[in-house]
Amino acid sequence: MNDGIFRHQFLLAMPGGAGGNFTQSLSFIAEHNADGAMGLVINKPGDLTVSDMLSQMNINADIGHDRPVFWGGPVQPERGFVLHRDEGDWESTLHVDPGLAITTSRDVLEAIGNGCGPKDYLITLGYAGWADGQLEDEMRANSWLSTPADAQIIFATPIAERWSAAARLLGVQPHQLSAHAGHS
């Protein structure tokens, strides 16, 4: 039985490991339990902006700066997820320790649109999901590295630098990572 060891961790896609849309992706793992794992890719911006998305949802948007909406993963790509500091009282929120939350209800989007939402947030469409044992198998296959998550990387690090910043949390420079793994 898994004990949630990857909860509140970053997963860094290893060179030569996770491929396709996950190539050089950085995922924030929000949940990891006996049913599997759920995370959001936080460094793959899509073509849609937050103001475009709010407009399509008929939500008035008066935001001073626009942000991209991210590709959060291949599962339920039509569904939005707001990763934010754990502040506010929203209808449908998963509280993730320490101090982060994921909200899926419209009220947080309306608050963002009118400037009353969380200051630090990232919106994704879709999420990354793993069945029970799948993430552990992928870790053994050297598809991912994990490190404790850092909100500074999520909310303040430029998008193009997030994967490298997370690698440095492990004490390695990104160019030191290899596509080949040794097992004894």
pLDDT of residue 71: 97
- For the chain, domain boundaries: 9-176
- Residue 170 phi/psi, 5-degree rounding, is -85, -5
**Phi/psi of residue 9, nearest 5 degrees:** -120, 160
Residues 169 and 137: their CA atoms lie apart, in Å, by 23
pTM of the entire structure?
Answer: 0.89
Confirm or reject CATH 3.40.1740.10 for domain 9-176, answering yes or no: yes
Q: Mean pLDDT per segment of 10 residues, for the chain of length 184 residues?
A: 77 78 92 94 96 91 84 96 93 89 96 92 96 92 92 97 94 62 46
Contact 40, 73 (CB under 8 A): yes
Give Cα separations from 30 to 41, 116, 129, 182 (angstroms).
Answer: 11, 24, 10, 29
Token readout for 36 is: 């599997």
